[in-house]
């Protein structure tokens, strides 16, 4: 029992000291984001890697999953924000095929030090409609523990499924209006017919 309390106390102190160190900006921190989490095949996206608290030149080596194309299209940009160094590395990301892709953690080299970003999930579909996020994607995107993300997904209302094909709504206009509209559309189509 005493060992369990000591372990929990040490874990709490370690967590607090890590949070304090990150907030004070003692070590370099790298984050990776994409311009959209959903895209169509062939659509160009931007992958932005932000490295904070790094003074030396920064090099990022993103691994490319099968079906994705990643190219660097801008040289690393060095900024200063509140007296601290910030490096921006921009890449062009193009999905070649449909599916769900996970870009693994990106390795960022800072001279002798190496840090990693979190993985990024990209959904590629013909309609580019965002799916309902699962717990792992929510945890990666919002930087919360996986257990908390699972609870959040359980309690979130899910959208009602739509029938496919969905029925068209009934036209509520009176019959003379519908007839005039149909005749007008027919005449318009006939008048604008391109011919052979």
Q: What token pair was written down for 119?
A: 């993985």
Q: Do the domain assignments include residue 179?
A: no
75 and 106 Cβ atoms separated by less than 8 Å: no
CATH number at residue 42: 2.60.40.740
pLDDT of residue 26: 59
Q: Do the domain assignments include residue 134?
A: no
Cβ-Cβ contacts under 8 Å for 131 (sequence gap 6 or more): 38, 123
Q: Do the domain assignments include residue 186?
A: no
Q: Do the domain assignments include residue 69?
A: yes
Q: Do the domain assignments include residue 141?
A: no
Residue 82: Cβ within 10 Å count: 6
Model pLDDT for residues 121-166, shown as the tens digit of each residue:
888 988 878 777 788 888 877 778 888 888 888 887 776 666 666 6
Strands 120-124 and 38-39: parallel
Written as tens digits, the pLDDT of the chain (196 aa) is: 433 333 333 333 344 344 444 445 558 888 888 888 888 898 889 888 888 888 776 777 777 788 888 888 778 888 888 878 888 888 888 888 888 888 888 888 887 888 888 888 888 988 878 777 788 888 877 778 888 888 888 887 776 666 666 667 778 889 899 899 989 988 888 888 776 5
Number of domains in the chain: 1
Cβ-Cβ contacts under 8 Å for 145 (sequence gap 6 or more): 139
Q: Do the domain assignments include residue 68?
A: yes
Q: Cβ-count burial of 124 within 10 angstroms (0-12 exposed, 13-18 middle, 19+ buried)? A: buried
pTM for the model stands at 0.61
Q: Do the domain assignments include residue 15?
A: no
Q: Do the domain assignments include residue 103?
A: yes
Q: CA-to-CA distance for 196 and 177, rounded, in angstroms?
A: 33
Domain range spanning residue 34? Answer: 28-122
CA 67 to chain centre: 17
């Amino acid at each position: 029992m005493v060992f369990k309390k000591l372990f929990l106390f040490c874990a709490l102190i370690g967590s607090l000291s890590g949070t304090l160190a990150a907030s004070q900006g003692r070590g370099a921190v790298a984050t990776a984001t994409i311009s959209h989490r959903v895209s169509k095949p062939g659509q160009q996206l931007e992958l932005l890697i932000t490295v904070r608290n790094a003074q030396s030149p920064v090099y990022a080596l993103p691994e490319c999953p099968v079906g994705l194309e990643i190219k660097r299209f801008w040289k690393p940009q060095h900024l200063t924000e509140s007296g601290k160094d910030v490096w921006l590395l921009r890449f062009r990301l193009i999905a070649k095929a449909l599916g769900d892709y996970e870009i693994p953690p990106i390795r960022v080299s800072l001279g002798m030090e190496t840090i990693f970003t979190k993985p990024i999930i990209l959904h590629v579909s013909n309609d580019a409609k965002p799916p309902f996020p699962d717990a792992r994607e929510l945890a990666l995107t919002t930087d919360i523990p996986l257990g908390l993300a699972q609870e959040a997904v359980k309690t979130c209302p899910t959208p009602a499924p739509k029938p496919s094909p969905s029925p068209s709504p009934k036209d509520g206009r009176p019959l003379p209006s519908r007839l005039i509209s149909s005749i007008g559309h027919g005449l318009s189509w006939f008048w604008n017919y391109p011919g052979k």
